[in-house]
Structure 1
Amino acid sequence: MVMLAITCATVFANFAVMLALWRVRRAPSHYPLMSLVAADFLVGMAVLPIAALRELFVFNLNRVICACWSTLDVLCCTASILSLCALGWERYSGITAPLARAQRARRARTLSILVWPVSALVALPDAFIPSPKSFHPGELEKACDVNTNIWYVFFSITFSFYVPACMIVMQYGFILRALSSPPPIRAHRGRTVSPRCQKMDSTQMNTTPKQKSSNVHIQIDNNQKTNFLERQRRATRMIVMLMGLFFICWTPYFVILPLDSLYDIVSDSTWAWCTWLGYVNSALNPFVYAAASPSVRRVLQYSYTTSSSRNNEIPLTQRIPRA
């Protein structure tokens, strides 16, 4: 029942987020987020059913089916963490270049597309490299064993987990540094100020027009910087929660995998707990989107309550308010 609940939550929650993001016009953050959601959805549809059956029953499957299943497993895991890298890059770009929206969107789309062929390069060898099989006395053979070929294990975990994990940690450091000293946000030339700022005493305007104008611009810049920082911190909070959840769920698996390939010391129960802890990550991610970001909640609510939502834009971060 627990495995069934995890599988259903993974499929339906990620499908809901995927459909919501598809029905609204793309913001830069939507592209890597859609890539992450697609990877989690594939886990629920193609990986978890067989993973649950092989834990509960003893049966054999065709070698081609097992090769496709194990390849999809590695593909989706690699795509998830690479999508997190793309999300981290977009968040850093959103902080350092908030007005370059079109350029950020093009790069985010390109990175999100590249996630999948790179993930495929890591996953495809799993279908062709044989895995050594060793059974302990009294142990029941499971269908579709995890590939424990030493060379492939270290190749896959390097590019599926450890290198992207280091990149994510570095990106988080860059994001924190960028948030500590954000770029100046200024109004475009020709933009009018608010009526409240236009109410000036006629005597002050005649005597000190330059000083008053300078004070108005300083007030506008300070307000924009404050709003900018708050929005970026809210958006960054979701990315940090996704990163932390990924590390909590998948680190045990990527620790026991090389240990077992080298020394064959991991029990079946440990394998099951660590593997399904990783799968739980795919079920929890959509709830992180909704809990950590009010903007994602607005996307979900708006896309399912408005028939014309495809023609409207609801970004994951609010726009910079006009002065």
Structure 2
Amino acid sequence: MSAADLAPRRIVFNADDFGLDVAVNEAVESAFRNGLLTSASLMVSAPAAADAVARARALPGLGVGLHLTLVDGTPTLPADQIPDLVDDQGRFAADLWRRGFRYFFLARVRRQLAAEIRAQFEAFAATGLSLDHANAHKHLHVHPTVLRLLLDIGKDYGLGWVRLPWEPLQLKRCMEKLSWQDSVGALLLSPWVGRMKRRIRAAGMACNDILVGLQATGRMDSMALSRALHCLPHGVLAEVYFHPASRQTPLLRQLMPQYRPVAEWQSLLNPDLASYVREACFVCGSFRDFSGSR
């Protein structure tokens, strides 16, 4: 048996979209108090953000980070200050390919993007919560312009951890049968993610080694989580991410019709999985709990 086989498996159980809906906030609070959840990523401009902040203040052990939202959401800045980022309704435009192209080549768009990203960090700072980590809704920080701005601006707000959206092909295959398209996609993404990791570390920040749940986004039920825990290799820091909610609301159904938020919430509360995590000696915490190992 190698040293790697004896190394601990460290896990951050994280909930995305904190603040999107009261049902999400309820799930986050209960899964932290009574389940596996250790952290959550806050959408500072979402409809239930104030409720999420109030709950987080009463949960000092919960690691809360910024869920940078630049798509499928409402901006922090007024729409007339970021006209190239929003649609006619003042929401972030959903045409990611066109927007991503403009991020690269139009300086005015990059200035607006930087202003909005700073405004979201500022809004998080105004909550008084300690910044545990940052990531982006729909993993938009894989875009190099967004990543650069996230890192540069995040330094001003004490950012120390950034999500690396990388689920190794071997882990994906262990968790479920993959199509050849999924396998090819994972292989093509690997060099890109490697560059992301190098940029994060060059900025003096840390990241998870792997992200569990990419292949099963929106359907991390008890069975999927059980497979993931059994497949997780030793010696890594893994973020397992969820989109939990205590009930399926009209807003969640509209935004994420294929997701199963209640099943994801129930997986975090599953007593058998909690027992396995204890018996298998997983080391669980928020990102800040692992800062000594950066």
TM-score normalized with structure 2 length: 0.27
Higher CA-based Rg: 1
TM-score normalized with structure 1 length: 0.25
Pick the structure with more helix per residue: 1
